[in-house]
Structure 1
């Protein structure tokens, strides 16, 4: 029996085509509080969730996934948030309430290219940016430099300091 996404207007079904497109399907959480969060996010009045109800990965943000292993999993607190609701189900965006927040909303660039400096301003090269970064002392062993040359240079400097102090 095919499994379909339970989101409003979504036609994704678990199949070879959706798998090749990278779409994954996820069961509703068993924890009642998280399950209610998912149900509210669906905004389907009278819809009853059961143990076979699924949502496809298109209804989650990229940050909601743990892709470290072979299996793509949802992170612990992930709640579906990407939906294509019709006008009567969309939540209205509340206007900003204070003068300061209204001005902050007006000053935000609408186009990401507006954030870029003008083309006549010289940009530092990648190498110059790397040189300008200061190396910070690591707090943990796993933060040690991975390069053997850098590690050897650091060891030699430390040994020179020790020799100088012993004199």
Structure 2
């Protein structure tokens, strides 16, 4: 008997048609602490996962998967985080008010406003009919490369900060 995704409002079933669409299904972890985190992330009142409970791949970020082998697997410690919940089940997002987070937010808003102020040449916008196509001019290509390199640098900085935060949390719990 095919299983269904345990997420609220998700209609994906573990059948051939969903597999052909690239959707994979994953059992709840056996580790109790991680299993409880998955159950909490679902936000279903009174839900307790059985050994047959499944979650589909639509509730995980693309970077949560290990696609190196023939079988698509979740990385260790991954938690589901992509849900389309109704407003009464959505988590309230609180903004941080430390000086460091305020400065980081201000610098981010300045960077994005500078990007929007720069305008593309008309020639480039005429020939660039797809957002994934390369710019027609050398200057446009160089600008696109600089954008991508800046994004990579930003992501690496974020990754380093997250690793530091994780290390501090582990040290604090010990």
Sort the TM-score into its range (normalised by shorter chain): 0.5 to 0.7
Distance 1:93 1:86 in 2: 15
Which residue pairs with 1:153 in the alignment? Answer: none
TM-score (norm: length of structure 2) = 0.62
- Superposition pairs for residues 16-95 of structure 1, below 5 Å? 16-95=16-95
Change (3 A) 1:8 1:112: farther
Change (3 A) 1:100 1:48: closer
Bigger drift between 21-30 and 103-112 goes to 103-112
Distance 2:51 2:119 in 1: 55
For 1:39-76, what per-residue CA distance to the aligned partner results, in whole angstroms no more than 9, with x for missing partners? 11111110121000000000011111110111111111
Distance 2:115 2:28 in 1: 41
Runs of 4+ aligned structure 1 residues displaced above 2 Å come to 98-124
* Contiguous gaps of at least 5 residues in structure 2: 122-137, 146-174
Give the superposition deviation at 1:95.
Answer: 2.4
Give the superposition deviation at 1:25.
Answer: 0.4
Change (3 A) 1:68 1:114: same
Distance 1:29 1:96 in 2: 32
Distance 1:74 1:113 in 2: 38
Give the superposition deviation at 1:101.
Answer: 2.6
Which residue pairs with 2:102 in the alignment? Answer: 102
Give the superposition deviation at 1:104.
Answer: 3.0
TM-score (norm: length of structure 1) = 0.65
Alignment RMSD (CA, Å) = 3.0
* Contiguous gaps of at least 5 residues in structure 1: 127-167
Change (3 A) 1:63 1:47: same
Q: More helix by proportion, 1 or 2?
A: 2
For 1:68-113, what per-residue CA distance to the aligned partner results, in whole angstroms no more than 9, with x for missing partners? 1111111111111111111011111112313553353244259699
Which residue pairs with 1:12 in the alignment? Answer: 12
Matched residue SS, 1:63: helix
